[in-house]
Amino acid sequence: MSEHRKKRYFGTDGIRGKVGESPITPEFILKLGWAIGRVMVRAGKDGILIGKDTRISGYMFESALQAGLSAAGVNIRLLGPMPTPGVAYLTRTLHAQAGIVISASHNPFYDNGIKFFSSEGAKLPDDIEFAIEDELDKPMVTVDSKDLGKARRIVDAAGRYIEFCKSTVPARINLSGVKVVVDCAHGATYHIAPNVFIELGATVIAIGNEPNGLNINLDCGSTKPKALQAAVVEHQADFGIALDGDGDRLIMVDHKGEEVDGDEILFIIAQSRRKTDSLVGSVVGTVMSNLGLEHALRESGVGFQRALVGDRYVMEILKREGWMIGGESSGHIMCLDRTTTGDGIVSALQVISAMFESDCTLHELKSGMKKYPQHLVNVPTEKSFDLAGSEVINQAIRDVEAELSDSGRVLLRPSGTEPVVRVMVEGIEIEQVTRLANQLAEVIVEVQKSN
């Protein structure tokens, strides 16, 4: 059964790594293009879109994917620089068999990766990913010359996506007189995001919109919003929008220069949907979502459920339950009543719509949710360390939970990318949560020493 197999290349969000190191090499990406082409041809369908962000290696991997797909007999449509959610949208509306994004999201320029979307604009199911990995084990064979795939460029891709983004808010919304700073992280939204808000009538100050292949996510964008905060204050803007390198994450800044993170954005969108009776079911966050979000939603009669960290897990619950709104503290927000995947521009537009409909500033809207202080400690651990199997650690957790009572929570989880255990304590008083997090971290260190 495929669910018991372990994937060799695919992670929770495609394949990602450092350029030049396996598997992110031209040779592998060529073979990967051929493998996905073989799987799609076997499915009896044709035509795959390729989009990319602005990192310099995108040119190399675009050519490699194109060659591999052509060798498998699959036609290719090239989108050029295009946000990840834009590729998802165009895959659906251009009736492509699949969409491929060359991006490492919020990572530095020296990383890259490959993400895939199905014909419905959703992440590929496990059985397709396993089938692609199976093809990678086979020798690469090129189809007859008459059957080679052809490539053409979609010249109006950006315009199509801009129009879609604007369509996700009511036509009556006019941003004339509104000043907004947009930080594109020198990434895939640099030629799209500013135009969306300009065409809605706003005065736009664009920053992070001069990609050179090496500066994507560099001291800018949703992972480092200080540049946006400073620009909003300097230009006396009404609010600011920070996207990441591939445009699927959003962090905002209010007119005072204060950050509005993914939890607060999720709260604002959910409250707006609730007030218009368009909220379907509960809201989905993750185990890292702030306790203040859960409490604020509960007080307004909205259910809340936590998923594991990762947009894939949030999406799984949303689809299983038939709910619409979910996301992560990092700003990966899903509005499935508007689109099929996390979309930074669309999420920003939903917040703007809430501001417009309520006649409130962003600062006023976010004030409806009180964030609880969190303290996170990363404790280095051996790979073989059994966190759950230690009764000493489990007792220490119970002791901390007893002290916090209902006004806080504890989370210990091994990192999926580093040899560390992440210890997070959340509560009302920052001094208390800091002390308790450090206390738990010391217990883990001592348990390791004694083993």
Q: Cα(395)–Cα(111) distance, rounded to whole angstroms? A: 41
Residues 6+ apart with CB under 8 A from 443: 392, 393, 396
Nearest to 448 by CA among 375, 394, 380: 380
Instruction: Write out the two tokens for 119.
Output: 């014909």
The rounded distance, in Å, linking the Cα atoms of 185 and 171 is 28
Residue with tokens 């001291």: 219
SS3 letters across 219-286:
CCCCCCCHHHHHHHHHCCCCEEEEECCCCCCEEEEECCCCEECHHHHHHHHHHHHHHCCCCCCCEEEE
In this structure, the number of other CB atoms found within 10 A of the CB of residue 432 comes to 18
Catalytic residue among 57, 70, 103, 105: 105
Measured CA angle at 105 (ends 151, 189), to 5 deg: 70
3-state class (DSSP) for residue 324: coil
- Report the C-alpha gap between 192 and 209 in whole angstroms: 10
| Residue 18, SS3 per DSSP | strand
DSSP 8-class letter at 4: G
> Residue 164 has which token pair?
């879609």
272 catalytically annotated:
no
Please report where in the chains the tokens 């979309």 appear, as a residue: 343
What residues have CB less than 8 Å from 376, skipping those under 6 apart?
422, 423, 424, 437
The 420-426 sheet, strands edge to edge? 374-380, 420-426, 409-414
Distant-in-sequence, close-in-space partners of 159: CB < 8 Å, separation ≥ 6: none
- Cis-peptide into 23, omega within 30 deg: yes
**If we measure between CA atoms, which residue out of 194, 190, 240 comes closest to residue 216?**
190
Q: Provide the annotated active-site residues.
A: 105
